[in-house]
Amino acid sequence: MSAVETLDTVPATPTEPTPCAYSIGRRLSLLLAIQTVIGLGVLLAIIYGATTMLFVAKHEEELRSYTAVLVDVVRDAEAQGGEAEVKAKLAWLAERRPGTFVQMHRADGSELYRDAAPTFDVTAPASRPMDFTVPVTGGTALVGKVVLDCSQDAKTARRMALLLIGSVLAGAALVGWGTFWRVRCSLRPLLDLAGQTKAIDARRLGQRLSLAEPVEELQPLIDQFNGLMTRVERTYVQLEGFNADVAHELRTPLANLIGQTEVALSRERSAADLEETLHSNLEELHRMAAIVNDMLFLAQADRGIKARRGKPVSLAQLVEQVVEFHEAPLEEKQLSVAVQGDAEVSLDEPLVKRALSNLLGNAIRYADNGTKLGVLIVRESGDSVRLWVENVGPAIEPEHLPRLFDRFFRADTSRCELEKPHHGLGLSIVAAIARMHDGFPAAESSGGTTRVGFSVQTR
């Protein structure tokens, strides 16, 4: 199979769909409109139900009062003139009570009286009937039925229902529009912040977010963002300084390499001269390789890599091994080393040795001749152990102590050796190794004694 065919058969990785952005104003307006519809709908439904119940109660009261009148009239009429008088009285009442329909039956079920053609549909749902009984002479009774025309009240109820529905919809629309307008006005500070954020770039890292009228809910976000920008600005400045320092540190060995090579090529040289030039160039190359390796190590540490801890070891023994490695420079400056304390700690032994070597080398470099170096192993509260390396020599100004672990930082020229220049990453590596062990570096300097160290977590 060819390479092209192989690439073609690789399935494409599906891309996740980008979620659609939504408008806070529209969403709040819709939610409040729905709540308004529900709230007003329930309230107006209760009002409509109460009104309907009042109409029903009114109709029942009218029917009861009219049937009472019919009972009295029919009883009196039957006593005075019999069925003929009853019919006459009922016809007379029918002319005076439009909107009602009356029908009477004898005890045997035959029809006694019926109003003329009614002006409304007596079988319609809007009509309300009521039965009544009228006792008459002879021990029998007449059975009557009266129907009340409620169509006008039904029309009124329908109109009221439409009015209430329209009120609910109008209220929801008004609340939704008002909410949307108020939300847009309330979110204007966010738009201002978005505009200020958009204006920030690499040339204006010092710009900070602010509002003419502080908003309580937005102030924590503004403070957090401004704090983030402060850290970004500081990191950016450090990065620019780091780049400049790297260029400066690499420029010197490169210039030496170029100069020595040009001199070697300018005229005929003996094999011994060329060998000496190669040895000198090799030293410069080793120095450049050390800078590059240290920078790579710091880059890995910055990505959050943690130390690989092994079995517990004695820190005092590690210190003694590192001291033996520095035996030559110690004898050269007539220095002695005293180790105080010990602790069994599970840690990355090569990394801790490297940090101790850097601290010891730094102390040797700046210690006064014939003095004593101290290595202190102190168990702190909790699960932390701190290692200090102290020397007697030039003091470090208090304002320089916080930056002592910055890359390529040198407090002053009095603490630099021109004969054996170093590239200023040793203490930065110490700080990185401390972070890899969940610890942190520290430095103190007073009374001619400088103490530099770092802590490690025991677990």
Inter-residue contact 343 to 313 (CB < 8 Å): no
Identify which of 282, 359, 344, 334 has the alpha carbon closest to the alpha carbon of residue 310.
Answer: 344
In angstroms, rounded to a whole number, what is the distance separating the alpha carbons of residues 358 and 322? 10
- AA identity, residue 386: R
Let me know whether 310 and 173 are in one domain. Answer: no
Per DSSP, the three-state class of 185 is helix
CA angle 77, 80, 85 (to 5 degrees): 45
88 within some domain: yes
**Domain stops at, among 130, 149, 177:** 177
**Domain stops at, among 177, 199, 232:** 177
What's the pTM?
0.52
Distance of CA 185 to the CA centre of its chain: 23
38 within some domain: yes
49 within some domain: yes
Token reading at 146: 């009266």
In angstroms, rounded to a whole number, what is the distance separating the alpha carbons of residues 271 and 264? 11
Q: CA-based Rg of the chain, rounded to a whole angstrom?
A: 51
194 within some domain: no
Inter-residue contact 301 to 441 (CB < 8 Å): no
CA distances from 13 to 205, 337, 394 (A): 38, 61, 61
CA dihedral 210, 211, 215, 219 (to 10 degrees): 0
Q: Which of the 8 DSSP states describes residue 336? A: E
Let me know whether 28 and 169 are in one domain. Answer: yes
289 within some domain: no
> Domain total for the chain?
2
In angstroms, rounded to a whole number, what is the distance separating the alpha carbons of residues 388 and 368? 18
Structural domain boundaries enclosing 406: 306-457
How, if at all, do strands 141-149 and 100-105 pair?
Answer: antiparallel
146 within some domain: yes
187 within some domain: no
234 within some domain: no
The count of residues in the chain is: 459
CA atoms within 13 A on the CB side of 149: 12
- AA identity, residue 53: M
**Domain stops at, among 162, 177, 192:** 177
- DSSP states of 279-291 as a string? HHHHHHHHHHHHH
Q: How confident is the prediction along the chain (459 residues), in pLDDT tens digits per residue?
A: 443 344 344 455 555 565 667 677 777 778 888 888 888 888 888 988 998 899 889 989 988 998 898 888 888 888 888 888 888 888 888 877 888 888 888 888 888 888 887 778 888 887 889 998 888 777 788 899 999 888 888 888 889 889 988 888 888 888 888 888 887 787 788 888 888 888 888 777 788 888 888 878 888 888 898 888 888 888 787 777 667 767 777 787 888 888 888 888 888 888 888 888 888 888 888 888 887 887 788 777 777 788 888 888 999 999 999 999 999 999 999 999 999 999 988 888 889 999 999 999 989 988 999 999 999 999 887 788 999 999 998 888 888 888 888 777 766 544 444 344 456 788 888 988 998 888 889 999 988 899 999 999 876
CA atoms within 13 A on the CB side of 126: 14
Domain with residue 344: its CATH number is 3.30.565.10
Q: What is the pLDDT of residue 418?
A: 39
Domain with residue 141: its CATH number is 3.30.450
